[in-house]
Copies of this chain bind each other. A is one copy, B any other.
Amino acid sequence: MKLWSKGYELDPTVEAYTVGDDVDLDRALVAYDCTASAVHARVLRKAGVLNEEEAKRLVDALGRMKSLAEKNEFPIRPEEEDGHTALENRLVEQLGDLGKKIHTARSRNDQVVTALRLYMKDRLDDVSSLVDTLVAALNVRIDADGSIQFPGYTHTRRAMPSSFAMWAGSFAESLSDTKLTLGAARELIDQNPLGTGAGYGIPVLELDREFAARELGFARVQSNPLYVQSSRPKFEATVVSALLDVMADLHRLAVDLILFSSSEFGFFSLPREVCTGSSIMPQKVNPDPLEILRARYHEVLAHEVQIRTTAAGLISGYHRDFQCTKRPLMLSFETVAASLRVAEIVVRSLTVDVDACRSACTDEIYATERAYELVQQGMPFRDAYRKVADELFGSED
């Protein structure tokens, strides 16, 4: 039964279209909904809507449901539209009239915002810790191979001497900086939205939102109910932008590795456990996982675009459109986490080909050094530059 049921049925084509993949996606959110619902039961106790016994029975039932949800055994039926409905229906089945009280002073609107926010905080922590693991893997490699020199490139042309330490260190430093960005996103969203109803607050009843914030582990209360609703797509966009920053580093890592492990460059080689073959060409050993890693940047970019455009043109307040950002948001987290894991495996397992690196360090990459030696002998830099250039290209005269 739907929460808003008024005795008629939706057109089935229309219903399937409207529900979309909520039933699937909500499986990852139901445990958070149970947590928030248990806190809400205690808020209702404080507000005098429930007595102690009622609150306790609801909290216990929700605890059991949460365990099921964490084992992915909590049932959501297609005709229930979403996890929130399933949760209320299960409570009514188990507790009768008491179950019908859980939705007092709340809306699915603040419920989904709360569940998503708890979900995002957890997933941001996961991503942050996977970033740490990758940075650690890079540092292990720098300790071992840091001093190996190969050319640094500008304009895809040999420029000046670089090294494994400089190359790998540039990713380690960049990834460490993404933790600033991930942290700022986490700080932004760390506000309790629960208790704001459909976006216009709860009339008649008094809810202790500070209590709910503390119990749910939020740093502060998000006070304006209408802002709770308009912040939903906004916070999601900020979070996915931060995830995209992580993907940008992984994308560049993949781009470098694919080119630098080609036979033309040859600085690195990839173990065949991270390569695949061709169905037609017997000799091929292809860096497919890195190519997928490279492509996934564009997937997360597309998710950001979708989230950032979906709310455009809409007046303040909840719109069902917001449901459509759930998939790109959740897929972004999955993609970033999987990509960080794959990147770490590749970083740990690649080999640096010392000979190829050395023989690529041709004379030209020391031209700047020669100019600086002339500078140290007192020649103005621009003259030294031209003198070295003349030696390489012939005089202008």
Contact pick for A284, options B157, B222, B342, B397, CB 8 Å? B157
Select the stretch in A29-37, A118-126, A208-216, A244-252 that faces chain B.
A244-252
- Distance in angstroms between the alpha carbons of A280 and B105 in the assembled complex: 8
A169 adjacent to chain B (CB < 8 Å): yes
Instruction: For residue A255, give the distance in angstroms from its CB to the closest CB of chain B.
Output: 6
Known: A101-B381, A226-B167, A274-B14. A319 touches B20 (CB 8 A): no
Q: A266-293: which residues lie under 8 A (CB-CB) from chain B? A: 272-274, 276-289, 291-293
Among the listed B9, B295, B310, B342, which residue makes an inter-chain contact with A310, where contact means beta carbons less than 8 Å apart?
B295
- Pair B284/A4 contact, Cβ less than 8 Å: yes
| CB < 8 Å neighbour of A368 from B252, B281, B383 | B281
Q: Which of A60-68, A127-135, A298-306 touches B?
A: A298-306
Interface membership of chain A positions 8-26, coded 1 if the CB is closer than 8 angstroms to chain B and 0 otherwise: 1111011011101000000
Question: Other CB < 8 Å A-B pairs besides A107-B278, A157-B263, A184-B184, 5 of them?
Answer: A3-B279, A10-B276, A14-B342, A157-B286, A204-B369
Contact between A262 and B157, CB atoms less than 8 A apart: yes
- Report yes or no: A396 in contact with B324, Cβ–Cβ below 8 A: no
Q: Which of A189-210 contact B (CB under 8 A)?
A: 197-205
Nearest to A155 among chain B residues (CB) is B286
CB of A351 within 8 A of chain B?
no
Question: Within the complex, which residue of B109, B162, B263, B296 is in contact with A324, where a contact is CB–CB below 8 Å?
Answer: B296
A288 touches B320 (CB 8 A): yes
Q: Looking at the assembled complex, report how far the CB atom of A369 sits from the nearest CB atom of chain B, in whole angstroms.
A: 4
**Bound: A14/B156 CA distance, A:** 19
Known A-B contacts A11-B274, A312-B298; the reply to A226 vs B166 at CB < 8 A is yes
Pick from B248, B285, B360: contact of A157, CB below 8 A: B285
Which residue in chain B gives the minimum CB-CB distance to A244? B308
* Most B-side CB within 10 Å, residue of A85, A159, A259, A324: A159
- What is the CB-to-nearest-CB distance from A228 to chain B, in angstroms, rounded to a whole number? 9
Instruction: Say yes or no: A174-B230 contact (C-beta < 8 A), given A309-B309, A313-B312.
Output: yes
B14–A272 CB distance below 8 A: no
* A84 at the binding interface (Cβ < 8 Å): yes
Q: Measured between alpha carbons, how far is A296 from B308 in the docked complex, in Å?
A: 13
Q: Which residues of B contact A187 (CB under 8 A)?
A: 180, 184
Let me know if A314 is at the binding interface, CB within 8 A.
yes
What would 10 A/B residue contacts be, using CB atoms closer than 8 Å?
Answer: A153-B316, A155-B319, A160-B200, A184-B187, A248-B311, A255-B314, A292-B321, A302-B305, A302-B328, A309-B312
| Beta-carbon contact of B292 and A388 below 8 Å | no
Q: Does A297 contact B (CB under 8 A)?
A: yes
Write out the residue numbers on chain B whose beta carbons fall within 8 Å of the beta carbon of A167. 226, 316
Most buried by B among A84, A105, A154, A311: A154
Residues in chain B near residue A159, CB distance under 8 A: 198-200, 278, 281, 284, 317
**4 shortest interchain CB distances as A-B pairs:** A313-B313, A4-B277, A7-B396, A184-B184
CB neighbours of A346 from chain B (8 A): 14
**B100 contacts A383, CB within 8 Å?**
yes
Chain B residues with CB below 8 A from A371, complex form = 282
Which of A14, A92, A222, A397 gathers the greatest number of chain B CB atoms within 10 Å? A14
- The residues of B that contact A350 with a CB separation of less than 8 Å are none
Contact in complex: A298, B324 (CB < 8 Å): yes
A155 touches B318 (CB 8 A): yes
Residue ID in chain B nearest A325 by CB atoms: B295
Residues of B within 8 A of A319 (CB): 154-156, 291
Pairwise interchain contact A315-B393, C-beta atoms closer than 8 A: no
Q: Which residue of B lies closest to A7 (CB)?
A: B396
Docked-complex contact B283 and A389, CB < 8 angstroms = yes
A94 contacts partner chain B, Cβ-Cβ < 8 Å = no
